Amino acid sequence: MAELLRAEHLTKRFKGLTANDDVEFNILAGEVRCVIGPNGAGKTTFISMISGHLQPSSGRIWFRGEDITRMPVVERARLGIARKFQTPSVFNRLTVYENVELAVLGTGRPSHRREARVREVLELVRLSEQSNRPTVMLSHGQRQWLEVGLLIGNDAELMLLDEPTAGMTAEETHSTGELVRSLARDLSLSAIIIEHDINFIRNLEAPITVLHLGRVLAHGNYDEIARNELVRDSYLGH
Amino acid sequence: MTEANRTRVLPGLPPQVRRVREPVVAIGVLALLALLPLLFSGYVIYILPQYMLFGVLAMSLALLWGFCGMLSFGQAGFFALGAYTMGLCVQHAGAVGVNAAYLALVISMAAGTAIASAVGYFLFSAGVRDSYFVIVTLALSIIAEQIAVGQSQITGGWNGMFIPRMELSLWRWKFPLDSDASIYYVIVVFVAATYFFLRWITRAKFGKVLAGIRENEDRVLSLGFKVPLYKTATFAISAGLACMAGALYGTHAAFVAPSLAGVLFSTEVVVWVAIAGRSSLLAALLGGIVVSSISNALSAITPQYWQLVLGVLFVLTVAFFRGGIAGAVHRFAAHRGG
């Protein structure tokens, strides 16, 4: 698999606070990766530097071999880096269909191919039956899925999912895991996931990076991480 | 009532009901306006075109506010810019071979578009939005009014500027618009063209992106749309239309004074659109026509209190009917229809 994204020596300082300190990270096409860590570990800062919402103080970010360190959000989005925010960021007063349509419009597909694509995406995120409803009527979990649908409809290659299962029922959390895995497997869609839900992470069977106080504390699969003394002390222990 | 129907009562939601009926109603309204000169004459036919141009001004604000979420208190500034442009062009008509009024329409549209593009591009690229944008547009109105007052050698200052009535011409054919009915029809055609142009762009891809910006600007940006360009284009189109409407107003009213550019008139435009309903072009058009006629009538009946009456209506609308009358009518229709 080809390398999709690489972050080198990524550091972000906010005045006195170092939110990310020399973080190294890379992800392949079609790979799913989890980033975990206690509150304040710098997870969202890390994702924000990759999406372009924050500029790193030092370090570099490469996407498909291109240096995107200083590239603005809108151009990264056009390259296929798409972010799901912590609280669902969708268009509340538009219908579900119109939401996904807008994402598809952003890809520059010819107009006759748009509707089929919107339907296909709605099918993937299981919102076909809700397509004419205003988004505000959806449950919290469905809104999360709709936002994932926006990323898919926008032809994302790398999804940055910030707590995608927050506010979901156990069943919804489980299907979210299945969705992310099937997108990676079938559509070769990569994902970097920030999560707190340890069961969700275990079920994903994806490599895990543990951040602590802005640094990479450990890296490995679930069992390795669970056995790691440092991680247990700093995070899993409490 | 089904779930799907109940959902349509949400304020500001683009409703299925209105989508089907609005153009039909609009064609009816425009046809009615076109028929009026056959039924009436005198003051009504003289004054209505001015209100229709206020309606266009209201639609230009609805595009900006209702469809893209950007409130502007600068529309009157552009309207007055158009009127002054018409005056200056017609005064200096001898210098050029073409119809000065045509030139004025083109120049005023270009001037409004250019000013709004320049101002908009810098503001939106720098991330200025919401109330900060409102304040800048407020300043635009004040600047326009101050220039109209201050540059009296060009504008006539407080005395205002007299503007001869335009004429239609095509090669050697000339048709003066001195009669009330003749200019009335020219303005009806302009109103219809503006309405259908705006309807077209608001329903095209452009309009869908605007709705997205109105609902969630950051999300639209994260989907890879160049939001500042969309907002600049919207502001420019809105300003260009306001200027053209102003140019026609100038030649119709035969007079323009600095107060046409002022904050007070800009605020009136906002009131028309808020009361009528900002998310519908037709409502904005009717708001411009009807509310401004009512204001005019009220100002004759009770010169002291009419602005108070309008102000109270505005407050009631903002407090209880966020979607304006169009929103309330639509809510009623959705309940009945369900």
A144-157: per-residue pLDDT in tens? 999 999 999 999 99
Residues of A at the B interface, defined by Cβ within 8 angstroms:
51, 73-75, 77-78, 82-83, 89-94, 98, 101-103, 105-106, 111, 132-134, 136-137, 150, 154
Q: Is A58 among the domain residues?
A: yes
- Selected for mutation to probe chain B from A78, A87, A94, A129 (highest B CB count within 10 Å) is A94
The bridge status of strand A66-67 relative to strand A58-63 is antiparallel
Domain membership of residue A8 as a residue range: 1-71+159-165+192-238
Q: Is A141 among the domain residues?
A: no
- Among B12, B13, B219, whose Cβ lies nearest the Cβ of A90? B219
Contact residues for A200 (Cβ-Cβ < 8 A; gap 6+): A165, A173, A174, A176, A177
Q: Is A15 among the domain residues?
A: yes
Checking if the pLDDT of A233 tops 80, the result is no
pLDDT of residue B329: 83
Amino acid at A166: A
Distance CA B117, CA B129 (A): 15
Contact indicator for B214, B69 with CB cutoff of 8 Å:
yes
Cα four-point dihedral sign A37, A40, A42, A48 = positive
Model confidence band, residue B9 (pLDDT cutoffs 50, 70, 90): very low
Cα four-point dihedral sign B273, B275, B278, B282 = negative
Checking if the pLDDT of B314 tops 80, the result is yes
Task: Look up residue B278 and give its two tokens.
Answer: 């900002």
pLDDT of residue B337: 60
pLDDT of residue B15: 47
* CB atoms B7 and A133 under 8 Å: yes
- Among the residue ranges A32-36, A39-43, A232-236, B163-167, the one predicted with the least confidence is A232-236
pLDDT of residue A237: 53
| CB atoms near residue A54 (< 10 Å) | 18
pLDDT of residue B249: 97
pLDDT of residue B8: 39
Distance CA B136, CA B147 (A): 16
Distance CA B212, CA B59 (A): 19
Q: Please tell me which residue of chain A has the smallest CA distance to B3.
A: A133
Contact indicator for A161, A191 with CB cutoff of 8 Å:
yes
Number of domains in chain A: 1
For B268-297, b/e burial (b = at least 16 CB within 10 A) is bbbbbbbbbbbbbbbbbbbbbbbbbbbbee
Residue A117 or B327, more confident: A117
φ, ψ for residue A236, nearest 5 deg: -70, -25
Model confidence band, residue A129 (pLDDT cutoffs 50, 70, 90): very high
Q: Is A151 among the domain residues?
A: no
Q: Is A77 among the domain residues?
A: no
- Three-state DSSP state, B270: helix
Residue A233 or B224, more confident: B224
pLDDT digits (tens, 9 = 90+) for B77-123: 999 999 999 999 988 876 667 788 999 999 999 999 999 999 999 99
Task: Look up residue B120 and give its two tokens.
Answer: 């908009």
pLDDT digits (tens, 9 = 90+) for B137-150: 999 999 999 999 99
pLDDT digits (tens, 9 = 90+) for A157-208: 999 999 999 888 899 999 999 999 999 999 999 999 999 888 899 989 999 9
Q: Is A48 among the domain residues?
A: yes
| CB atoms near residue A227 (< 10 Å) | 11
Distance CA A31, CA B300 (A): 74
Model confidence band, residue B5 (pLDDT cutoffs 50, 70, 90): very low
In 3-state terms chain B splits into helix, strand, coil percentages (rounded to 5) of 80, 5, 20
pLDDT of residue A101: 96
Checking if the pLDDT of A1 tops 70, the result is no
pLDDT of residue B20: 54
Alpha carbon of B213: minimum distance to chain A alpha carbons (Å): 9
Checking if the pLDDT of B176 tops 90, the result is no
Contact residues for B262 (Cβ-Cβ < 8 A; gap 6+): B76, B141, B142, B145
* CB atoms B215 and A137 under 8 Å: no
Average pLDDT over residues B29-55: 94
Average pLDDT, chain B: 89
pLDDT of residue B2: 39
* CB atoms A93 and B227 under 8 Å: no
Q: What is the 3-state secondary structure (H, E, C) of B199-247?
A: HHHHHCHHHHHHHHHHHHHHHHHHCCCCHHHHHHHHHHHHHHHHHHHHH
Q: Is A131 among the domain residues?
A: no
pLDDT of residue B10: 43
Q: Which residues of B touch A75 (CB under 8 A)?
A: 224
In chain B, % of residues over pLDDT 90: 65
- Give me the total of CB pairs closer than 8 Å, taking one residue from chain A and one from chain B: 71
Residue B1 or A63, more confident: A63
In chain B, % of residues over pLDDT 70: 93
Tell me, what CATH number does A63's domain have?
3.40.50.300
- Selected for mutation to probe chain B from A83, A92, A102 (highest B CB count within 10 Å) is A102
- Among B7, B216, B224, whose Cβ lies nearest the Cβ of A91? B216
pLDDT of residue B183: 94
Q: Is A186 among the domain residues?
A: no
Checking if the pLDDT of B332 tops 50, the result is yes
pLDDT of residue B96: 67
pLDDT of residue A114: 94
